[in-house]
Amino acid sequence: MSEEKVQTIPVGAAKAQTMSDLLGTGIEIKVLKQGDMVEGTLISVGKNEVYVDLEGYGVGVVRGRELYDDEATLSALKPGDKIFVSVVEPENKDGITELSLRQAGQERVWQTLKEKMESKEVIRAKILEANKGGLMVEINNVMGFLPVSQLSLEHYPRVEDGDKNRILGVLQSYIGQPFDVQIITADSAEEKLIVSEKAVFEKEMENKLGQLKIGLVVEGTITGVVDFGAFVKFGEMEGLVHISELAWQRIENPKDIVKVGQKVTAKVISIDKGRVSLSIKQLQEDPWLQAVKKYQIGQTVKGKVAKVMPFGVFVELDKDIQGLAHIMELSHEAVKNPEEILKPGEEKEFKIISIEPAEHRLGLSLKALTEAPKKSEVKVEDKPVIEEVKPAVEEKKE
């Protein structure tokens, strides 16, 4: 039987024990795997090798490229210091564990980020960059992303028509400012770090939202007008009035109804996932309930064309009521384009052909005011009879 080789360790280092050595002693063995991160005690720092005592596992070594990558870190260490290392190879031919300080450092950073995420620690991070999707921050030397959807109400960009270039302009104005954020994703495998500003205020908002009730009437101020509605701040909270809840009439642009700084009274109609939905129109009488009293089927009314659509035209009868004249009701003859008959802004008389107050629908007809043309009599001329002339076939004489 050949003699077992024993690796000699630099001065101050313990003798390395191979797996077979340990098995022969009956000592309980802890097995390391590639990628494991463990804490060890620095034994010695040499020019080409650094030895680490891995308590319960044996001795490990940092060398080669791993040594040069960690040179800055090692220069500040001395024998006896505790360090975290990552396993590159559980056991080389000499029975020693190959280690990396660099990989351990990276893993330690991500482990710290995960701990901060789990504890929901509030971190103050400076905004470094901006793009159309959000903002970039740096935490523990790792670049993180703060999406627009995770901004607080204070910093959320309220831009009319959702213009991406204008949104970017708002986001760029935040560069250099410190934001309080919480980590919501820390994925070391994909090197993905995502943070949220609104998460910082969620607990506080939950308590405030708990005091709100559906149907509550609040006094507030318009803080932003966008293409889909208007934001209203009331007290320390903010809600959204959707375009469909601004007024009873048909609305093309919320700016035609409200403006920033305007004082409004609104009703809480929904509280969902921290978002408050409000309604202004529900505090006003529905004019359509009076439509049946003001308008009757068969009545002739004068209205102004508000909008021309491929399927017909919307006609404004008064400030609150609009009717629809379907393309089939514009003329007795086939119409391909409603603008052939009516133009926006044009005033015309129409006949009311249907009223559905509950559905906010009123049907109009232009052709009903004119008599349908009589069908012209079509004369059918007698066609001459053409006799089929068959050529005579002479019989062959024998």
SS3 for the chain is CCCCCCCCCCCCCCCCCCHHHHHHHCCCCCCCCCCCEEEEEEEEECCCEEEEEECCCEEEEEECHHHHHCHHHHCCCCCCCEEEEEEEECCCCCCCEEEEHHHHHHHHHHHHHHHHHHHCCCEEEECCEEECCEEEEEECCEEEEEEHHHCCCCCCCCCHHHCHHHHHHHHHCCCCCEEEEEEEEEECCCCEEEEECHHHHHHHHHHHHCCCCCCCEEEEEEEEEECCEEEEEECCEEEEEEHHHCCCCCCCCHHHCCCCCCEEEEEEEEEECCEEEEECHHHCCCHHHHHHHHCCCCCEEEEEEEEEECCEEEEECCCCCEEEEEHHHCCCCCCCCHHHCCCCCCEEEEEEEEEEHHHCEEEEECHHHCCCCCCCCCCCCCCCCCCCCCCCCCCCCC
Report the range of poorest mean pLDDT among 26-35, 54-63, 193-202, 218-227: 26-35
Please give the class, per CATH, of domain 19-108.
Answer: mainly beta
pLDDT score of 22 more than 60:
no
Segments making up each domain of the chain, as ranges: 19-108, 120-202, 212-283, 290-369
Share the mean pLDDT of the chain: 81
Q: What is the mean pLDDT of residues 198-213?
A: 80
Q: What local confidence, expressed as pLDDT, does residue 18 receive?
A: 52
pTM of the model: 0.52
The CATH number of the domain covering residues in 212-283 = 2.40.50.140
Q: What is the pLDDT of residues 294-334, one digit of tens each?
A: 899 999 999 999 999 999 999 999 888 899 999 999 999 88
pLDDT score of 385 more than 50:
no
CATH number for the 290-369 domain, one of 3.40.50.300, 2.40.50.140, 1.20.1050.10, 3.60.150.10? 2.40.50.140
Q: What superfamily would CATH give domain 120-202? A: Nucleic acid-binding proteins (2.40.50.140)
pLDDT score of 57 more than 70:
yes
Report the range of poorest mean pLDDT among 121-125, 153-157, 297-301: 153-157
Q: What local confidence, expressed as pLDDT, does residue 20 receive?
A: 52
pLDDT score of 387 more than 90:
no
Asked, colleague to colleague, whether 19-108 and 212-283 share their fold, the answer is: yes
